[in-house]
Amino acid sequence: MATCSSPPRRGQSRRHSRVFFGSSGPSKPIAAQRRRGPASYEVTVSDTIEAGRGFGEGADSISGSTARGTVRKGDTDELTFSGLVTRFLHEGPLRVVFNGNEIGPAPLGEQTSGSTPTPPGAGANESAPTPSGEGPDEPGPESSDEGAERASSPAQVVLSFDDSEPSAKTGAKPIMDEYGYPGVMGIVTERTKQSGSDDNSLTVARLEAMQADGWVVASHSVTRPEAFTELSEEEIREECHQSREFIVENGLLPPDPAIIYPHGSVDEDVAEIAEEYYTYGLGGEDDPTDGIDDPLRIERAAGHEPGEAREQIDRAIENGGVSVLMFHRIGTFDDPNELDTSEEDFAELMSYIDEQGSALEVITPSQL
């Protein structure tokens, strides 16, 4: 069955900064990305190197055949070069991809058979090999340790529910409990304040019970406006701040809290404000199936569309990334709408997740 992951220790993360090397004719594009906090890098090549998209901001610079840059969360620096990479330095954990093959960065810091000579005085992380068995501009296969690490890291799936919807507890949770799966409950805090114990609404006490079973509470705003992108900066900040305060005051704030944007409405300005209050933002256009580049704009797949949901899960497994599924009402209702998911369809999707076995683990955003 698909597994449920325990949270990593504080300060750890499964996904790190990335540097990509890809071949494109005589010139190769380089892109450096950082998921959290700043990271710095230095690349020296044997011929020419030129700035691309995102490069040149802040302390980024090119001197001769050496490029130096700093990237922050969600940023991307791209460069193109010709010749060989002769020197590569970095601070922080990195993944290196060349022509679609993840290789390191260990191979960039080890002199191997067929590698270019280590520059005089260079340290262990400063030489760049020309691996044997490939062309002069192409690295060889990844190290066995790196390959084993990737093979042992399953893809992940997050099951998220919107709108303080009671059927997440009454319809979805009993099915998920059969597999021990946790979920993410996005609450509209004004609705939670008005909920009563004499109906099925999600009171704080019921949310506490779900939390005790491994679920986490996420903000879905205070009032659920039609679009954050149409609000003023002050209004966006109020929605983010007040919803977080309610969650904190009621002891429901998880590590690395998340906001689920109403109607998926988010742009760069909204994400920048949300980052002041939340670690993750669910909704946006950052495809997580090959890794999360922008944690404040994580794209979700529609759970009420089984084909779309399975397709995103399959891509996440293929790429070792993340699938984030979005649900609204679970069950059959007197006032049906297109966002509803029947309990039968939901159960089939949970069974499909289970069938993936150790290739897929069900997590919450705090475990990303």
**Which CATH number is 273's domain given?**
3.20.20.370
For residues 74 and 272, the answer to whether their CB atoms sit within 8 Å is no
Task: Indicate if 130 and 192 belong to the same structural domain.
Answer: no
- 196 & 338 share domain: yes
- With bands split at pLDDT 50, 70 and 90, how would you rate the model's confidence at 70? confident
**Which residue among 151, 170, 200 closes a domain?**
151
46 compared with 134, residue with greater pLDDT: 46
Burial of 197 (0-12, 13-18, 19+ CB in 10 A): exposed
Q: Let me know if 45 is exposed, middle or buried by CB neighbors in 10 A (0-12, 13-18, 19+).
A: buried
Higher pLDDT, 33 or 48: 48
Among residues 92, 117, 151, the one where a domain terminates is 151
Whether 171 shows a pLDDT value over 80: the answer reads yes
Average pLDDT value for residue range 184-203? 90
Task: Provide mean pLDDT across the span 179-188.
Answer: 98
Supply the pLDDT for residue 182: 97
Separation of alpha carbons 61 and 23, rounded Å: 22
Residue pair 316/289 in contact (Cβ under 8 Å)? The answer is yes
pLDDT tops 50 at residue 13: no
End-of-domain residue from the set 98, 123, 151 = 151
Q: Are residues 110 and 166 in the same domain?
A: no
Answer yes or no: do 218 and 318 share one domain: yes
- Torsion angles phi and psi, residue 198, rounded to 5: -90, 5
Q: Do 63 and 211 belong to one domain?
A: no
Average pLDDT, the chain: 78
Distance in angstroms (rounded) separating the CA atoms of residues 148 and 172? 35
Residue 182 sits in which domain range? 155-367
The span from the CA of 55 to the CA of 38, in Å, is: 14
Cα torsion 354, 300, 214, 321 to 10°: value is 60
Whether residue 110 is found in the same domain as residue 236: no
pLDDT digits (tens, 9 = 90+) for 220-275: 999 999 899 999 999 999 999 999 999 999 999 998 999 999 999 999 999 999 99
* pLDDT score recorded for residue 127: 33
Q: What percent of the chain has pLDDT over 90?
A: 55
Looking up tokens 């309610």, which residue turns up? 246
Q: In terms of Cα–Cα distance, which of 157, 202, 94, 162 is closest to 365?
A: 157
Q: Which residue has the higher pLDDT, 305 or 46?
A: 305
**Whether the predicted pLDDT of 110 surpasses 80:** no
- What is the predicted pLDDT for the residue at 83? 81
Output the pLDDT for position 153.
78
Inform me whether the pLDDT recorded for 168 exceeds 90.
Answer: yes
Given pLDDT bands bounded at 50, 70 and 90, which one contains residue 304?
Answer: very high
Is residue 140 domain-shared with residue 206, that is, in the same domain? no
Residues 79 and 223 reside in one and the same domain: no
Q: Which residue has the higher pLDDT, 98 or 288?
A: 288
Average pLDDT over residues 336-365: 96
> Among 73-82, 90-99, 168-177, whose mean pLDDT is lowest?
90-99
User: What's the pLDDT at 263?
Assistant: 94
Specify whether 93 is located in the same domain as 207. no
Q: How many domains does the chain have?
A: 2
Q: What is the pTM of this model?
A: 0.64
Are residues 55 and 180 both part of a single domain?
Answer: no
**For residue 212, is pLDDT > 90?**
yes
Do 67 and 216 fall within a single domain?
no
Confidence of residue 30 (pLDDT cuts 50, 70, 90): low
One domain, residues 8 and 140: yes
Residue range 331-353: mean pLDDT, rounded: 97
